[in-house]
Chain A
Amino acid sequence: MAKQLIELIVNGDRYEVAVEPGASLAEVLREELYLTGTKVGCNQGDCGACTVLVDGRSVSSCLTLAVEAHQREVTTIEGLAPSGETLHPLQEAFIEKGAVQCGFCSAGMILAAKALLDRNPAPSPEEIRHGLSGNLCRCTGYVKIVEAIQAASLKLAAGKEAR
């Protein structure tokens, strides 16, 4: 089938890409835009490593067709930090709390957490665990990931109050 020309707004930047109708968003991000921070752990929507935000909602980019993201705002892990210098509080907390080991699930975890905190700024540990139940990790037992998300939610709340 002929390729289709689509427009993606990824991390605020506009891209025109010709894609196969069957190409997944994950494939296009990784192979065409070379945004390899998005990882593919199963390519079946089971592990959550490829989680990105589309118009603020978390999706498995391996199960999302690139054409579905036409003219929509996509946020990948590369776009989360406002600049190379400053990290998002979630990223900072993941480092400080030891929530990263091999790092392969980290991008998906952090973006799933971002979507969760956008919905529910002060989640309980149970709500965090529920929010992450679509993201697998084989290294950490999730303990420090949950701690990091809690720490980030407090920091984000403190930041809002200060403003």
Chain B
Amino acid sequence: MNHPSIIGASIPRLDGRAKVTGRAIYTDDIKAPGMLFGALLRSPIPHGRIKRIDVSKARALAGVKDVIVGADTPQIKYGNWRLVPASQDELPLAVDKVRFVGDEVAAVAAVSSDIAQRALELIEVEYEELPAIYSVEEATAEGAPLIHEESQGNVSLVRKIEYGDLEEWFAKADLILEDEFKVHAVSHAYLEPCSSLAVPDEGGRVTLYTSTQTPYIVQCLLAHTLGIPENYVRVMKTQVGGGFGGKMELRPWEFSASFMALRTGLPVKFTLNRAEELSYGRRRHPMSIYSKVGFSKDGKLLAKDFQVMLDGGAYNAMGPTATFLCGTFGNMLYNFPAYRYYGRHVYTNKPPASAMRGFGAPQAAFANETQLNLAAEKLGIDPIEIRLINAMQTGDVIPDVATVSSCGFKECLEKVREISGWDAKRQAKTPNKGLGVGCFSFISGGVFNWFDTKYNFSAAEVKVFDDGTAQLASMACDIGQGTDTVLRQILAAELGISIEKIRLIAMDTAATPKADLGSWGSRVTLMNGNAVIQAARKIKDMLVPVLFSQFDLNQIHDVAFEGDEVFVKANPKKRMSFAECVYKALRGRRGEPLSAYGYYTPRDKGLVSPAFSFGAQVAEVSVDEDTGLVTVDQMYTAHDCGVAINKMAVEGQLEGAIQMGLGYTLSEQFVMREGHTLNNTFLDYKMPTAEDMPPSVYAEVETYEPEGPFGAKEAGEGLAIPTAPAIAHGVFEATGFRCRKLPITPERLLRGMGKLR
């Protein structure tokens, strides 16, 4: 059914007013009576044993209410892969060893943040330094020191995918390419630094206000590490000032705030500063990639051998999932008969890498798409043409992984060729200018359950009232991407009521139905959207009998919900207001409220995702051949996200993704020396400003995803993937230098062009 006024409409986000008037509440805005201020002591060395910690001087400082070290805590390891206990390698506070500069060693709670900072300086820690490792190559070399003693040569996880006879298909190939690629770490750089406030409740319970993408996961892991029942932890929604994958695990300050709140009986708040965020915060995985591909002379991709080492830093964090997904992104865009993926997650003495927008895909795509452009050049085939030859299509099967139930990839390629003026511009060939292409596919949430939840992946509770309003309760988590608005659009469309009439309760884990795995992997619209629809349909089932009784309807009739009214489809004159219908149903139920739960868990959807989005992007770049500066003059994108529920929100995702992709490709990087991050300010960590942004043209290729709510699928992360390979290709066309490493700095480019030694 079509709902043009609400589905696909550009409805401004419903929390916009609170945000533009400064009334939206983020965690650090909250003050609780008697609140203490927390601070973390971190390791100054990249690798070492803790010989001795003395906190007596810190504890004696006036105004200090609590000081904790690892030994004071239950010392329970945690990680998001609860299904694989061996992968859980992190402690909230280090106990015997530190493994990166910034590893949390002790925490303080004091009556002011100044006193907390002074107390940190009074804690004495004696370390025995151990040799440290900063690259995956060193870490996997013979005899390398082990960062975690139980790991196999610093490899914490191996993921293999194999199908088709690789040797046979390589033997049939007319062109074989072998290339190595290196991609680097970047920061999520969400504007809101992490903040958490724990408030002790009666009976040894705790309420945690926190800036998170995954309240349910925080609830579970916090209870686990505190050694208390899950139901004793309540995680509360605040506004979240961006996440991008960086706020989706239990963090040491969430634990420390809660642990000290329970010990002192007082609220405890931690708010990180930007230097902590940039020096020690989570980041995108650097990867060392080897890829061998075989093509027929007419451009058909026959075989791919894809070997990746992910530089995970000191702990697993979300690295195991990234390792899994990276292999899956290696075969999601193109259909070919033989594939082998060998991915290894490797420990180094650096801040842990984790999930970041694209979750293994931007790295895989940089290699895969660049190699495809190399093949196109060698085979004398147009780069867009070679993609059309191999593109995934609706109904295609990724062996042992998934069936692609909707795919507008070919249409995206055709569209981006048209809107970018691809053919004419490539023929014209302007000096120092080039046109490059990059493509992507992305998941609409994962079907995997390494977190081992016993609940459904998404849940929603809908209540309706006799004043014609409704209430939606869900743990789904708006971190800026707009799901609070999108989920209400879906409910409004399904119940036929105005969006303004829906109150939303989100992210209070004690008041919303179990569960929702959070905002990551672009899962919320499809998964929680489906849960909302199911709950709404149950409500409608409770309301429909009212019309049948009222109008003495034959059972062959059907009823419609639209415009805050309910009516008989075949005879719309027989109608009543939604409010009256609820009132009558309530009377008929002798006072029992109308409420219903809806759930969604993907089933029989393979190993990866229930649905896949696709897209193609062209970057038009100019290179200054003297300075090596790359300017992106224009971006063109065509995108298949199924039916866009909120067009303006989807555009917002695209525009933001280009900023992030541009930074990833050209300017953002961590400058590190011996485990220390040297550029830990926004002055030195260069993310694009308003002046750096290229103009951008965008075309929506609409498909209908049968598994998605109203045909919708992923729209948030995939767009962050194609920008780096597209720009890199444009740079090649402009200069003849094929960059296999990111970022493309002027220095790297001038060296590549032979202008700098």
> Do the two chains belong together in a single complex?
yes
**In the assembled complex, which residues on chain B have CB atoms less than 8 Å from the CB atom of A101?**
13, 242, 480-482, 652, 656
Q: Which listed segment binds B: A63-71, A126-134, A154-162? A: A126-134
A-B contacts at CB below 8 angstroms, number:
176
B239 on interface, CB distance cutoff 8 Å = yes
A135 at the interface (CB under 8 A from B): yes
Please tell me if B21 contacts chain A, counting CB pairs below 8 Å. Answer: yes
A12 at the interface (CB under 8 A from B): no
Question: Which residues does chain B contribute within 8 Å of A81, judged by CB atoms?
Answer: 21
Give the shortest distance, in Å, between B358 (CB) and chain A (any CB).
Answer: 15
Within 8 A of A (CB), among B682-730: 682-683, 687, 689-691, 693, 696
- Name the residue of chain B whose CB is nearest to the CB of A95: B16
Q: Is the CB of B480 within 8 A of A91?
A: no
In B236-252, which residues have CB < 8 Å from any A CB?
A: 239-242, 244
Nearest A residue to B31, CB-CB: A34
Q: Flag if A39 contacts B26 (CB, 8 Å).
A: yes
A78 interfacial contact with B, CB 8 Å:
yes
B25 at the interface (CB under 8 A from A): yes
B754 → A minimal CB distance (Å): 34
B193 CB-CB contact with A under 8 Å: yes
CB-based contact B689/A103 at 8 Å:
no
Most buried by A among B191, B239, B682: B191
Q: Which residue of A lies closest to B242 (CB)?
A: A102
Asked if B651 CB lies within 8 Å of chain A CBs, one says: yes
- Closest chain B residue to A93, Cβ basis: B20
| Interface presence of B231 (CB below 8 A) | no
Tell me, yes or no, whether B4 is within 8 Å of chain A by CB: no
What 0/1 pattern do residues 220 to 256 of B give for CB contact below 8 A with A?
A: 0000000000000000000111101000000000000
**Does A144 contact B16, Cβ atoms closer than 8 Å?**
no
Given A44-B681, A103-B480: A141 touches B191 (CB 8 Å cut-off): no
B217 → chain A closest CB, angstroms: 20
- Given A44-B681, A103-B239, A141-B658, the answer on whether A110 and B480 have CB atoms closer than 8 Å is no
Residues in chain A near residue B244, CB distance under 8 A = 138
CB pair A138–B191 under 8 Å, yes or no, is yes
With A78-B22, A139-B242, A141-B656 known to touch, is A43 a contact of B16 (CB < 8 Å)?
A: no
Q: Would you call A61 an interface residue if the criterion is a C-beta within 8 Å of the partner chain's C-beta atoms?
A: no
Cα distance, A90 to B19, chains bound together (Å): 13
Task: Tell me whether B22 and A138 are in contact (CB under 8 A).
Answer: no
- CB neighbours (8 Å) of A96 from chain B are 12
A85 to chain B, nearest CB (A): 11
Contact of A130 with B192 in the complex, beta carbons under 8 Å: no
Task: Determine if A87 and B21 form an interchain contact, defined as CB atoms under 8 angstroms apart.
Answer: yes
Q: Which residues of A contact B690 (CB under 8 A)?
A: 128-130, 132-133, 135, 137, 142, 145-146
Contacts of B15 in A (CB 8 A): 103
Q: What separation, in Å, do the CA atoms of A110 and B239 have in the docked complex?
A: 19
Contacting pair A103 B19 (CB below 8 A): yes
CB of A47 within 8 A of chain B? yes
Chain B residues, CB < 8 A from A100:
13, 16, 19-20
| B655 interfacial by beta-carbon distance below 8 Å | yes
Given A101-B480, A107-B22, A136 and B682 contact (CB-CB distance below 8 Å): yes
CA distance A49 to B274 in the complex (A): 12
Interface residue? A76 (CB, 8 A): yes
**Nearest CB to that of B274 among chain A residues?**
A42
Q: Give the chain B neighbours of A90 by CB distance below 8 A.
A: 20
Determine whether B649 belongs to the interface, using a CB cutoff of 8 Å to chain A. Answer: yes
CA of A136 to CA of B63, assembled, Å: 36
Please state if B191 and A137 are interface contacts (CB–CB under 8 Å): yes
Q: B17 within 8 Å of A by Cβ?
A: yes
Per-residue contact bits, chain B 659-675, to A (CB 8 Å; 1 contact, 0 not)? 11000000000000000
Residues 17-63 (chain A) with a chain B CB within 8 angstroms? 30, 34-44, 46-47, 49
In this assembly, does B73 line the interface, its C-beta being within 8 Å of a C-beta of chain A? no
A44-B682, A104-B26 given; A78·B691 CB < 8 A: no
Chain A positions within 8 Å of B651 at CB level: 98, 143-144
Known interface pairs A42-B682, A104-B242; A138-B190 also in contact (CB < 8 Å): yes
Whether B20 and A95, one on each chain, are in contact in the complex, defined by CB atoms closer than 8 angstroms, is yes
**Nearest-CB residue, chain B, relative to A145:** B690
- Residues of B within 8 Å of A91, CB to CB, are 17, 20-21
Of B16, B20, B660, the contact of A138 (CB 8 Å cutoff): B660
Residues in A with CB closer than 8 Å to B479 are 102
B562-600 toward A: CB 8 Å interface, digit per residue (1/0)? 000000000000000000000000000000000000000
A103 and B693 in contact, given A42-B682, A47-B682, A98-B651 (Cβ under 8 angstroms):
no
- A77 on interface, CB distance cutoff 8 Å: yes
Which residues of A lie under 8 Å from residue B13 when comparing CB positions? 95, 98, 100-101
- What's the minimum C-beta distance from A87 to chain B, rounded to whole angstroms? 7
B-side contacts of A37, CB under 8 Å: 21-23
**Could you pull out 15 A-B pairs where Cβ atoms are within 8 angstroms?**
A35-B22, A36-B26, A41-B241, A43-B274, A77-B20, A78-B21, A78-B22, A95-B13, A133-B690, A136-B687, A136-B689, A138-B189, A141-B654, A141-B658, A143-B651
9 other A-B residue contacts (CB within 8 Å) besides A90-B20, A98-B10: A36-B29, A40-B28, A76-B22, A102-B479, A137-B690, A138-B656, A140-B659, A143-B696, A144-B651
Listed in ascending order, the chain A residues whose CB lies under 8 Å from chain B are 30, 34-44, 46-47, 49, 76-78, 80-81, 87, 90-91, 94-96, 98, 100-107, 110, 128-130, 132-146
User: What are the nearest 7 A-B pairs in CB distance?
Assistant: A37-B22, A102-B480, A104-B241, A103-B19, A141-B655, A46-B682, A77-B22
